[in-house]
Amino acid sequence: MSGYIYGYARVSTRSQELSRQLDLLNEHNCNEILTEKMTGTKANRPQLNRLKDKLRPDDTVIVESFSRLGRSTKDLIDLVNYFEEHNVKLISLKENFDTVTPQGRLMMTVFQAFSQFERDLIVERTKEGLKSARVRGRKGGRPPVNQRDIERAIKLYKSEEYSVKEIVEMTGISKSTLYRYLDK
C-alpha cells in the first residue's frame, strides 16, 4: 500500500469499548487511527469529517466493518463514492473488501450502480408527486405576495422611521421580497 494508512473505529455509545476494533486496526499497521463514540446514523460525525479532510490520493482507509462507516446503505454508498472520487483505497476487514482488488472494484461498480438507481428513483418519485399534486389542483412554489402589503412596506421603508426588521414584522413579507421590490 502506498500513501498514508488511516484506521477508523466507531462505537454507537460512550459506554461501548473500541479496544477490539483498535486491536484489529493496529494489526494492519495504520499510521493513524481516528475514533468516534457516537451513533452511525448522525450525519455530522466530527472524526469522520476530520478523516475526510486529511485524505490525499493514494491514502488508505481501513475499517473493521462497513457498519462502522454508516448505518444506512445510502450513507455507505456515498462514502465509498467519496473515497473513489478522491482516489482513496478502502478496506473493510470483516467483509474482506479492498478497492484495489478485482472483487473490490466490482463491488465499487455495484455500489455506484445502486447509488445511481436510488437517485433515479428519487427523481421519478418527485416528478410523479408533482404531477399528482397538479392533477389535484395544487400549485408549487410560494404563495403570491399581497400587493397591499408590498405597497405598505415600501411606504414604511421610504418614511425612514422604521428598520427593515420592524417593517418585515409589521407587514409579514420577507426581507428579500422587500429589497426585490425596492430594486424595481
Q: Looking at the annotation, which residues are catalytic?
A: 12
The answer to whether the beta carbons of residues 170 and 162 sit under 8 Å apart is yes
The answer to whether the beta carbons of residues 12 and 39 sit under 8 Å apart is yes
How many angstroms separate the most distant Cα atoms in the chain? 73
List residues bridging with 61 in a β-sheet.
Answer: 6, 90
